[in-house]
Structure 1
Amino acid sequence: MSLLRAKIQDVFNEPACEQNRGKDAKARKEGCSKPLTPGAAAGGCAFDGAKIVLQPITDVAHLVHGPLACEGNSWDNRGAASSGPTLWRTSFTTDLTELDVVMGRGERKLFKAIIEIKEAYGPPAIFVYPTCVTALIGDDIEAVCKRAAEKYGLAVVPVNAPGFVGSKNLGNKLAGEALLERVIGTLEPDDAGPYDINILGEFNLSGEFWLVKPLLDRLGIRVRACIPGDARYVDIACAHRARAAMVVCSTALINLARKMDERWDIPFFEGSFYGITDTSDALRNIAELLVKQGADPEILGRTEVLIAEEEAIAWKKLAAYRPRLAGKRVLLNTGGVKSWSVVHALMEIGIEIVGTSVKKSTVEDKERIKQILKDDNHIFEQMAARELYAMLSERKADIMLSGGRTQFIALKAKTPWLDINQERQHPYAGYDGMVELVRQIDIAIHNPIWAQVREPAPWDCQPAREERPRTKSETPTLHAVQEFAGTTAGNFGDC
């Protein structure tokens, strides 16, 4: 536990964090993450964060050592896609019960589970995740993993990120530390070249990295390891032989990028594949880093040719949407890299941003937003559900882009909504992804259902005709009632 405590403190003290660079040594030791509020689990725990980063490694068995509910809550919570192995889609857990805890059978049960997975599936590696329960009762996960690895010649990797140690973002970083210490550099590739790169923090949600990889292939750039999207264990183990790296989600794996640069001289930059301009800039930065690392400078010219061709195609496709979406107002309720990358992408086609959330964004992300929007009034740290509903019901935005948690606020306000977070069904990265994003926004905004649901219900309207007053002796017959209903059906005034 003391080693875990030291590791957590080391992750908090992140020199590559933009916020920490301007601090003195004493202030830097305090770290750059918000303190954890006991009982506040919204947004995920450290275990959830570690599982999110590592589970998309497709050919690895991911074994959760703890009660069944821990695996149930973390499995399949992101729409990452695989082009091959499907082992990562299988849930493995030791299913620890109260009796196992009382009798001290946790370590024995874990060792048995590792053996069963090896015999049944034969994976290249097994990642073991301790949870709050097994960490609190003191199960020595590292010792069990080491013994199993030595006895069966299998890579068994402990991922020390039990939920109670911190937030989901901390779990992201602890997962990166596990890869750095126990996976990366354990194998040597026999085909290393001057055009090998790593992509860090790319999760291949809805297969969107497959829209970017063909661009790199056309330039002769090989992705040595995409961590974690559609990754293989061997690729990650050989990732230390890449010549350059791009960090897509800085809050997740910035510590991994920095330490790989220190150990193996792999320079990195932070970029985005969302939007036409950002995708072009990312391709240019990759080419420039490779040239600095010894690649042939001719790749710079080929990159510009590719960018010119792809931008022309994308802008031609977007021309049909520009008059339909120009001036439309978008509320972006997300965070992280999307808080500025999607903003920039939408503004390129004339869409107005009325607000963007920066809840999970880094200080550098916030600075980028300020440079793009030129107005701090459109930036909010967190907006309560009541405020979101008020803003949407007052028609201050034509559509809201967010995750599934807030979709019902938009639907209750009778406002179009589009999923932009990890549960989304459409890929939005690269040039083609930008066209798809704009197409989905256009479909959502111009869907005729919104005009219908905003109309008052018929029972909220008053009849246009006036009924003749009846005397007390007059009692309408069934025939009269039916005749009246037939003559007045649909004859309502303006509502």
Structure 2
Amino acid sequence: MAESLNAKITALFDEPGCDTNVAKGEKARKKGCSKPLQPGAAAGGCAFDGAKIALQPITDVVHLVHGPLACEGNGWDNRHAATSGPELYRIGATTDITETDIIMGNGEKRLYRAIREVIERYTPPAIFVYSTCVPALIGDDINAVCHHATEKFGTPCIPINAPGFVGSKNLGNKLAGETLLDHVIGTMEPERSTPTDINILGEYNLSGELWQVKPLLEQLGIRLNACITGDARYHEVATAHRARVNMMVCSTALINVARKMEERWGIPYFEGSFYGIGDTSDALRNLARMLVARGAEADLIDRTEGLIKAEEQRAWSRLEPYRERLAGKRVLLYTGGVKSWSIVSALQEMGMVIVSTSVRKSTDNDKQKIKDLMGGDAHMVSSIPPREMYAQLRRGDADILLSGGRTQFVALKARTPWLDINQERHHAFAGYDGMVTLVRELDASLSNPVWEDVRRLAPWEQEDGEAEFDDEGVPALVPIG
């Protein structure tokens, strides 16, 4: 297992579909995408976490974590990846191995019994078995156990070899994609196939975002064969090789899947986004154009343009009341990946100003898109230390911070509006309706009267309007009114 995993990781670091790798020399590619992790450095974002994030939205299978109880952790809700039916992906199955199992070498037996119990209790179409650090270190062969269980019970048991210590969350995403290619995609044939079948890769249906896009496709007669992996079913992923076109939403995570599906089954792919009115329209146009080139009826392009015109008109009419209030507002965007440029496009459509955007987990292609959108004003940062972010917000460099939950407290301490746009969010921002939701949430946060109250200094904090400075040299907030 170790040799196979090492070979797979080496191949992923040399991924020809990744612009960053292509730009490197052979020696640099062999070193990998990042420095080796120190023990504990990957906590909260390890390879196991990345693999489970990528695969758990397959809703009708059981995701069985082979390891200590803590590794299953907060996997139940899986970042609000919503389902339209099965709930099996949320049961939080784990072997819960203990010190006794480790010392006595009972890990593999415990895993086999867990698989048998899951099949007897839930009869799922498949079981995804995740290796974690402890069983990987003591040599548990989950490949052999899964192979034996598959033959014994007739239920596919899919081994995911992505223990946390092998690398980062992003590497875990890619290892999950390799698992789908090795064990799932292409193992079943669809009951029917149409000239307009597509797959969407790297979309996880967070807060139901897929459901804001799927109706648009249905109106055009485009059939979503498989979403990998948001609100997916096992048989959909297994038959994904019969689609005509792949749309890649997050190339950082699953570019290897898109490239290898093109190599093996001749499915062309493009990278697009459903964030923002313009990007949603461009994605629909690209889908229509590529499907027509692959045999769909030629009038699909005209019907797509008609739908785009109607949806854009409807969206802009709903956004018009917010434009005057949001135009010129300054935004500090601290996210990564596809959102580093797709959210930029969405905000610019409302006349907002991007102070800077982070490019964590962003590819060279993502960065180029930021430059194309922002021109000479493109201010990209890899990371901002909390102290520096706090100082920027206290100085008033930005009117609002858009980020994930881990930096919300920096904004709150600086008494600055904040909006969650990362995977933990509770609102869906994809598609035309999602853009309206995003703008409505931005306006609600910026116009909330609480900010005027929390910025007002108490009488004993300042007298006669004299400026005060905190221990970081940042001017204190002045009285309002």
- TMscore range, shorter length: over 0.9
Letter in 2 for 1:35: K
SS of 1:134's equivalent in the other structure is helix
Structure 2 CA distance for aligned equivalents of residues 461 and 367 of structure 1: 47
Residue of structure 1 in register with 2:4 after alignment: 3
Residue of structure 1 in register with 2:259 after alignment: 258
What's the CA shift string for 1:68-87, capped at 9, x where partnerless?
00011544341110000011
CA contact (8 A) 1:410 1:416 kept: yes
SS of 1:374's equivalent in the other structure is helix
What's the CA shift string for 1:113-155, capped at 9, x where partnerless?
0000001111100000010000010001011001110011001
Residue of structure 2 in register with 1:467 after alignment: none
Structure 2 CA distance for aligned equivalents of residues 343 and 219 of structure 1: 27
Residue of structure 2 in register with 1:451 after alignment: 452
Structure 1 CA distance for aligned equivalents of residues 464 and 325 of structure 2: 37
Letter in 2 for 1:230: D
Letter in 1 for 2:337: G
CA contact (8 A) 1:287 1:299 kept: yes
Q: CA deviation at 1:462?
A: 5.8
Structure 2 CA distance for aligned equivalents of residues 265 and 494 of structure 1: 63
Q: CA deviation at 1:29?
A: 4.2
SS of 1:225's equivalent in the other structure is strand
Q: CA deviation at 1:34?
A: 1.4
Letter in 1 for 2:200: I
Residue of structure 2 in register with 1:35 after alignment: 35
1:354-373, aligned counterparts within 5 Å?
354-373=355-374
SS of 2:205's equivalent in the other structure is coil
Whether 1:419 aligns to 2:420 is yes
Residue of structure 1 in register with 2:335 after alignment: 334
Structure 1 CA distance for aligned equivalents of residues 377 and 384 of structure 2: 15
Q: CA deviation at 1:349?
A: 1.1
Residue of structure 2 in register with 1:220 after alignment: 221
Q: What percentage of aligned pairs have identical amino acids?
A: 64
1:9-408, aligned counterparts within 5 Å?
9-25=10-26, 27-31=28-32, 33-39=33-39, 40-41=41-42, 44-375=45-376, 378-408=379-409
Q: CA deviation at 1:295?
A: 1.2
Structure 2 stretches lacking a partner, 5+ long: 466-478
SS of 2:113's equivalent in the other structure is helix
Q: CA deviation at 1:397?
A: 0.6
Structure 1 CA distance for aligned equivalents of residues 459 and 88 of structure 2: 54
Structure 2 CA distance for aligned equivalents of residues 188 and 435 of structure 1: 39
Residues 1:60 and 1:69: Cα distance change in structure 2 (over 3 Å): same
Structure 2 CA distance for aligned equivalents of residues 461 and 400 of structure 1: 27
SS of 1:177's equivalent in the other structure is helix
Q: CA deviation at 1:460?
A: 2.8
CA contact (8 A) 1:13 1:30 kept: no
Residues 1:346 and 1:377: Cα distance change in structure 2 (over 3 Å): closer
Letter in 2 for 1:456: L
Q: CA deviation at 1:362?
A: 0.8
TM-score by length of 1: 0.92
SS of 2:321's equivalent in the other structure is coil
Structure 2 CA distance for aligned equivalents of residues 249 and 323 of structure 1: 32
Residues 1:106 and 1:398: Cα distance change in structure 2 (over 3 Å): same
TM-score by length of 2: 0.94
CA contact (8 A) 1:247 1:257 kept: yes
Structure 1 CA distance for aligned equivalents of residues 157 and 78 of structure 2: 24
Q: CA deviation at 1:330?
A: 0.5
Structure 2 CA distance for aligned equivalents of residues 408 and 59 of structure 1: 36
Letter in 2 for 1:251: T
Residues 1:22 and 1:461: Cα distance change in structure 2 (over 3 Å): closer
Structure 2 CA distance for aligned equivalents of residues 315 and 364 of structure 1: 29
Structure 2 CA distance for aligned equivalents of residues 195 and 9 of structure 1: 36
Letter in 2 for 1:174: L
Structure 2 CA distance for aligned equivalents of residues 312 and 247 of structure 1: 26
CA contact (8 A) 2:37 2:165 kept: no
Structure 2 CA distance for aligned equivalents of residues 336 and 195 of structure 1: 28
SS of 1:440's equivalent in the other structure is helix
Structure 1 CA distance for aligned equivalents of residues 463 and 409 of structure 2: 30
Letter in 1 for 2:56: Q
Structure 1 CA distance for aligned equivalents of residues 296 and 286 of structure 2: 13
Structure 2 CA distance for aligned equivalents of residues 494 and 358 of structure 1: 35
Structure 2 CA distance for aligned equivalents of residues 73 and 448 of structure 1: 34
CA contact (8 A) 1:66 1:134 kept: yes
Structure 2 CA distance for aligned equivalents of residues 259 and 113 of structure 1: 33
Letter in 2 for 1:54: L
Q: CA deviation at 1:25?
A: 4.8
SS of 2:127's equivalent in the other structure is strand
How many pairs were matched up?
466
CA contact (8 A) 1:322 1:349 kept: yes
Q: CA deviation at 1:190?
A: 2.0
Residues 1:97 and 1:376: Cα distance change in structure 2 (over 3 Å): farther
SS of 1:319's equivalent in the other structure is helix
Structure 1 stretches lacking a partner, 5+ long: 465-492
Q: CA deviation at 1:350?
A: 0.3
Structure 2 CA distance for aligned equivalents of residues 138 and 215 of structure 1: 48
SS of 1:254's equivalent in the other structure is helix
CA contact (8 A) 1:36 1:167 kept: no
Structure 2 CA distance for aligned equivalents of residues 95 and 163 of structure 1: 16
Residue of structure 1 in register with 2:469 after alignment: none
CA contact (8 A) 1:322 1:350 kept: yes
Q: CA deviation at 1:288?
A: 1.0
Residues 1:129 and 1:463: Cα distance change in structure 2 (over 3 Å): same
Letter in 2 for 1:65: H
Structure 2 CA distance for aligned equivalents of residues 134 and 42 of structure 1: 17
Structure 2 CA distance for aligned equivalents of residues 329 and 169 of structure 1: 30
Structure 2 CA distance for aligned equivalents of residues 24 and 194 of structure 1: 41
What's the CA shift string for 1:428-474, capped at 9, x where partnerless?
0000100110010000000011001100124435699xxxxxxxxxx
Residue of structure 2 in register with 1:490 after alignment: none
Q: CA deviation at 1:363?
A: 1.0
CA contact (8 A) 2:456 2:480 kept: no
Structure 1 CA distance for aligned equivalents of residues 354 and 441 of structure 2: 17
Structure 1 runs (4+) greater than 6 angstroms displaced: none
Structure 1 CA distance for aligned equivalents of residues 408 and 390 of structure 2: 11
CA contact (8 A) 1:48 1:74 kept: no
Q: CA deviation at 1:371?
A: 1.3
Structure 2 CA distance for aligned equivalents of residues 169 and 369 of structure 1: 21
Structure 1 CA distance for aligned equivalents of residues 148 and 303 of structure 2: 51
CA contact (8 A) 1:50 1:175 kept: yes
